[in-house]
Amino acid sequence: MLNNNHNYNTISHIDKNGRVQLNDEHQNGVSILSERFASNFGLGDLGKIAGLLHDKGKEQAGWQQYIQGITGYNKEYANVTSGPNHSYVGAVIAQKQYPQIAPLIAQPIAGHHRGLYDYCDYIEETNCDIPQDVTIDDPFPLRLLNLPKLERFDLHHLVRMLFSCLVDADSLDTEAFMEPDQAKLRGSHTSMSELLSLLETHLYELKANAPDTEVNRIRNYVQEQCVKESQGQRGFYSLTVPTGGGKTLASVLWALHHAVKNDLQRIIIAIPYTSIIVQTSSILKQIFGEYNVLEHHSNVNPEDIKEEEQREKLQLATENWDSPIVVTTNVQLFESLFSNRRSDCRKLHNIVKSVIILDEVQSLPIGFYKPIVHSLNTLQRVFGTSILFTTASQPILSGRIEGANPYASFDALTSVHEIIPNEAQLHDKLRRVDLQFFEKANSYEEIAAELAKHHRVLCIVNTRKDAKELYDRLPKEGIRLHLSRMMCPAHVSATIECIKEALMVESDEPIRVIATQLIEAGVDIDFPVVYRQEAGLDSILQAAGRCNREGKREICTTYVFSLGKEHPLPPGFISQTNNARKGMGQQHDWFAPEAMTSYFQQLHSRIDNFDIKKIKELLYKPECEFEEAARQFHLIDDQTTSVIINWNGSIQLYQRLLSQGPSYSLMKQLAQYSVNIRERDFRKLQSIGAIEEPFENIYAINNPDFYQADTGLSIDNQWLEETYII
């Protein structure tokens, strides 16, 4: 028989001073927070129930002995070093008391430590009796759920969002007891209306000192349109503005006005490229203050924040995005939305009732289009967000997405409201560049000779190999620079700064730069001539955005070429995008929005799967496979290994690693001096002893001969070849 007498002495936590938090106290605290979080999307009762039940399993005698033993609270249990699983107990109770809606709360409870289960594992985990030493309270009365009509693709997000509410509430309540001084650093945010006032003051000062030019008049027009169109209801919006139109600040201006109008709680800006994130975050921090802008991506180094308390606050905010403005990556946003892990999902409930700005939206990986678009649909309808797509190359995101066959096609968003009307013709007013396409394929030598004709020229290619081949063939005169991911992030940043500084000086000295696509978007540089290896139209227009960027010259030219004589495009997505552009025929204006629509129609017609990892089969059903979907949903199929290299100041950091061992801060700093190497190249270097492994899964190339000051990591260098000969 089950014991129905409540156990008021059950321990939940014991801190370092021996203070005890009783389980009732913890569960009530978690239920209050979880209810508050879930109330933002109409499921406050479910949040409350999850909080009340999540730690019922701690009432087991074995678990009570375990917590008292490992903390030294009771020497009688000093030899008890493990306890029974406690998470499943509350899930089993939820199944019995709320059978009709059990998966919505039982799954989050069962996985609140180890993560959400695949359905069969969840059933196996909860297919058991409630332990006899666990009390069962009367069920909490459940009110009618207030939800919109749900689609099949909504359910897994609902479960994951309730999971987020529970695990963040659990973490916060535990922190408040175990680390009260740390807990006090959270909260105290600036309101959306206060942030709007700061931005309006900044824009007023900018305009007061700005010359009356055509470009500045257009930027003012874009901002005026953003203010006007911000007063609409929550929904999907797009801001299609050519390069140079000031869409970064305009989009934030729209977002703040829209947030104030619709009572939205934060702004989340998701960006595909680290270079744009760093640039955008820097601008926003200058306007709103560092404490109001959370920059969340892998290259952030907390040590860059000098003020200790502010550094701690922002590190805490990274855990759950409890900040008024979050600037992050597409990978961080979308992979969290499809994750099953506690640490990834903890932040999700703070996306509810927010404004999401998706910058450079055309870069969303097309193999994940279906689950991504459906997730955006759910975020807007079910969780009350507004979503703004910003780009100079707007893809097709509404209506029917027509693929290469009927099985690939799917219904996307119902409608997206464009902020800038077609009659504004911004692409024409901001025209600074013409495109010219080479008719025949070329060799490396021929393109290098073309580049040598120009005093200042940028050439963008598709691969690291092409960048190195062309760079080696450039005349060794003037300023000759190379940019690729064979260079570590610190080296890339230093080189970009070198390019910017060189371009600011009027000189007879040539400036010639060879780069991969890493320079294509968000890097604020301005060349009179740009060359772009053949690619999709969106990539070509991004490259053209580095040409005559400030409009200070007459119409300049971006040339599009093929390296087909020596290195044809490999099969796969890059060839599909290039063929889609070719399939458009002769357009009268490559920069017009109609051209971009035609391009994406052509591209979609070549795609036979917008869900390459079969996320629909894993999640669009009541029996969700959360863990397997999380394993499959990775936007970047990265078959590379990160290796620390020897460049500039990295050797001192590496010596610290050897002497002190890895730490969060040190590894963040070393990430700036690391290069991702393909598996084949990694094995090649490893086989001749070039790679060290001072700690498990931490790799380094300490020999400086493998890292060139101009081109970065050298896989095929003379030293390596001589080693093979020996």
Nearest to 42 by CA among 161, 218, 219, 178: 161
- pLDDT confidence bin for 505, thresholds 50/70/90: confident
- pLDDT confidence bin for 5, thresholds 50/70/90: very low
Under a CB-based contact definition with an 8 Å cutoff, are residues 514 and 543 in contact?
A: no
Nearest to 73 by CA among 160, 15, 152, 134: 15
Whether residue 300 lies inside any domain: the answer is: yes
Whether residue 388 lies inside any domain: the answer is: yes
Q: Give the DSSP letter string of 375-444.
A: HHHHHHHTT--EEEEEESS----BSEE--SSTTT-EE-BS--EESS-GGG-HHHHT--EEEEEEEEE--H
Cα distances from 668 to residues 24, 54, 674, in angstroms, run 39, 34, 10
pLDDT at 719 over 60: no
With residue 465 as reference, give the H or E element that holds it: helix 464-473
Distance, CA of 188 to CA of 170 (rounded, Å): 20
480 shares its domain with 573: yes
Whether residue 151 lies inside any domain: the answer is: yes
Question: In this predicted structure, which of 69-73, 146-150, 231-235, 399-403 has the lowest mean pLDDT?
Answer: 146-150
* Per-residue confidence (pLDDT) for residue 669, from 0 to 100: 87
512 shares its domain with 564: yes
571-588 average pLDDT score: 87
Phi and psi (nearest 5°) for 398?
Answer: -120, 160
Whether residue 613 lies inside any domain: the answer is: no
pLDDT at 11 over 50: yes
* Per-residue confidence (pLDDT) for residue 717, from 0 to 100: 53
81 shares its domain with 140: yes
With residue 22 as reference, give the H or E element that holds it: strand 20-22
Nearest to 273 by CA among 535, 518, 7: 518
Q: In what order do the strands lie in the sheet with 640-644?
A: 674-678, 640-644, 698-700, 692-695
Under a CB-based contact definition with an 8 Å cutoff, are residues 110 and 87 in contact?
A: yes
- pLDDT confidence bin for 720, thresholds 50/70/90: very low
38 shares its domain with 173: yes
183, 210, 234: which is the final residue of a domain?
183
Residue 626 sits at the vertex; the CA angle it makes with 623 and 627, to the nearest 5 degrees, is 130
* Per-residue confidence (pLDDT) for residue 639, from 0 to 100: 76
DSSP state of 118: B
Mean per-residue pLDDT over the chain, rounded: 89
pLDDT at 99 over 70: yes
Question: Rg of the chain over CA atoms, in angstroms?
Answer: 28
365 shares its domain with 410: yes
* Per-residue confidence (pLDDT) for residue 309, from 0 to 100: 65
Exposed / middle / buried, residue 121 (Cβ in 10 Å: 0-12, 13-18, 19+): middle
- pLDDT confidence bin for 447, thresholds 50/70/90: very high
Beta strand pairing call for 386-391 and 355-359: parallel
- pLDDT confidence bin for 725, thresholds 50/70/90: very low
84-101 average pLDDT score: 93
212 shares its domain with 78: no
- The boundaries of the domain holding residue 126 are 11-183
146 shares its domain with 230: no
315 shares its domain with 444: no
- pLDDT confidence bin for 274, thresholds 50/70/90: confident
Highest mean pLDDT among 92-106, 267-281, 513-527: 92-106
265 shares its domain with 147: no
Distance, CA of 79 to CA of 677 (rounded, Å): 46
Total residues found in the chain within this entry: 726
Under a CB-based contact definition with an 8 Å cutoff, are residues 107 and 117 in contact?
A: yes
Whether residue 616 lies inside any domain: the answer is: no
Residue 31 β-bridge partners? none
Q: Domain with 502 in it: what CATH number?
A: 3.40.50.300
Percent of the chain beyond pLDDT 90?
Answer: 64
529, 560, 590: which is the final residue of a domain?
590
Nearest to 168 by CA among 14, 316, 332: 316
Distance, CA of 153 to CA of 157 (rounded, Å): 8
Q: 52-63 pLDDT, tens per residue?
A: 999 999 999 999
- pLDDT confidence bin for 721, thresholds 50/70/90: very low
* Per-residue confidence (pLDDT) for residue 520, from 0 to 100: 63
pLDDT at 726 over 50: no
* Per-residue confidence (pLDDT) for residue 255, from 0 to 100: 98
590, 625, 658: which is the final residue of a domain?
590
Residue 152 β-bridge partners? none
Q: Which is it for the CA torsion 107, 112, 118, 122, positive or negative?
A: negative
Nearest to 539 by CA among 166, 181, 272: 272
The HSE-up count of residue 600 (CA atoms within 13 Å, CB side) is 21
Alpha helix ranges (H) inside 111-213: 119-126, 155-178, 180-183, 192-209
pLDDT at 390 over 60: yes
- What would the 3-class secondary structure string for 506-560 be? CCCCCEEEEECHHHCCCCCCCECEEEEECCCHHHHHHHHCCECCCCCCCCEEEEE
Q: State both tokens at 368.
A: 């994940």
* Per-residue confidence (pLDDT) for residue 212, from 0 to 100: 85
- pLDDT confidence bin for 137, thresholds 50/70/90: confident
Whether residue 634 lies inside any domain: the answer is: no
Whether residue 629 lies inside any domain: the answer is: no
* Per-residue confidence (pLDDT) for residue 341, from 0 to 100: 96
553 shares its domain with 669: no
Q: 616-675 pLDDT, tens per residue?
A: 999 999 999 999 999 999 998 767 899 999 998 898 999 999 999 988 788 888 988 999
Question: In this predicted structure, which of 146-160, 304-318, 363-377, 464-478 has the lowest mean pLDDT?
Answer: 304-318
Whether residue 3 lies inside any domain: the answer is: no
229 shares its domain with 338: yes
In single-letter form, the type of residue at position 413 comes to L
Nearest to 347 by CA among 362, 376, 326: 326
3-state DSSP call for residue 699? strand
* Per-residue confidence (pLDDT) for residue 8, from 0 to 100: 58
Question: In this predicted structure, which of 101-105, 329-333, 519-523, 705-709 has the lowest mean pLDDT?
Answer: 519-523
What's the total number of domains in the chain?
Answer: 4
Sequence-distant (6+) residues with CB within 8 A of 11 are 20, 21, 22, 23, 58, 64, 67, 68, 73
Distance, CA of 181 to CA of 315 (rounded, Å): 15
Cα distances from 700 to residues 464, 658, 684, 692, in angstroms, run 21, 11, 14, 5
Sequence-distant (6+) residues with CB within 8 A of 5 are 135
pLDDT at 144 over 80: no
Distance, CA of 289 to CA of 285 (rounded, Å): 5
201 shares its domain with 165: no
Residue 98 sits at the vertex; the CA angle it makes with 97 and 100, to the nearest 5 degrees, is 145
* Per-residue confidence (pLDDT) for residue 2, from 0 to 100: 35
Distance, CA of 626 to CA of 116 (rounded, Å): 6
Highest mean pLDDT among 216-230, 296-310, 572-586: 216-230
Q: Domain with 168 in it: what CATH number?
A: 1.10.3210
- pLDDT confidence bin for 182, thresholds 50/70/90: confident
